[in-house]
Amino acid sequence: MNFLELVQRLHSEAGIQGAAPATVIGQTGMNLRVVNWTLTAYEEIQGLHETWLFRQEEFSFPTIATVQNYTTASVSLDDLAAWKIEPDGSGIRIYSAVSDESDLSYYPWDQFRAIYKFGSFRTQSERPSEFSIKPDMSMDLWPIPDAVYTVNGEYIKKVQTMTANDDEPVIPDYHMIIVWRGLMYYGAFEGANDAYSHGQTEYKKLLAKLTINQLPKIVWGAPLA
């Protein structure tokens, strides 16, 4: 379902009088509210978990000799919300050829800055082995790259929005979850308890399915002894 179809379905489920919107652009009054409820529901559901699988994406970018810092814009990741770094600090890798690929070691920015932005470490240049993420979300490498290397890994995408009639949600399969959450907004606005309750019931059903389908599976570790 695209944005317009979601809006029209919410209009229908809410039993709103009058014709459903023929476009999401330029609406006023109740039809504007229906458009906004649909969009708010969509953005809210995406924001429930950074770990939704549909918010995960791979990246790869080449380093530049003598350049230590890489902004999200400079590596064409304008939709980046966070770099995906595992609890043990792994997840971001580097190679000059795929045969020599290795993990970069992560340091929190304060620690990285205290160690590698000090004295002669500031200018040390060779193949990077460590990295950190600055408060502005840019990535610093250390040592400073002395050649072109490829850095790769995964990142978490920002919450997406919809603006055009034919825009489609990044949420896979369960698009009606947006409609049911929107119906809850309608019910709360109108004081329509039946509409709110129905929307909530159907929303919870699809949220459970989406959680099973789109959150990482729990993997049990090896025995401690």
Q: How confident is the model at residue 225 (pLDDT cuts 50, 70, 90)?
A: low
- The residue-averaged pLDDT of 81-100 equals 95
Mean pLDDT, the chain, rounded, equals 95
- For residue 217, what pLDDT is reported? 80
List, for residues 110-140, the tens digit of each pLDDT value.
Answer: 999 999 999 999 999 999 999 999 999 999 9
- Measured in degrees and rounded to the nearest 5, phi and psi for residue 127 equal -65, 130
Q: Give dist(CA 69, CA 136) in Å, integer.
A: 11
Q: Give dist(CA 128, CA 67) in Å, integer.
A: 11
CA–CA–CA angle 191, 28, 26 (5° rounding): 140
CB 82 within 8 A of CB 106: no
Tracing tokens 């989406």 back to the chain, one arrives at: 210
Would you state the torsion angle of the CA atoms of residues 194, 200, 205, 208, taken in this order, to the nearest 10 degrees?
-170
pTM value is 0.88
Q: Residue 61 CB: number of other CB atoms within 10 A?
A: 16
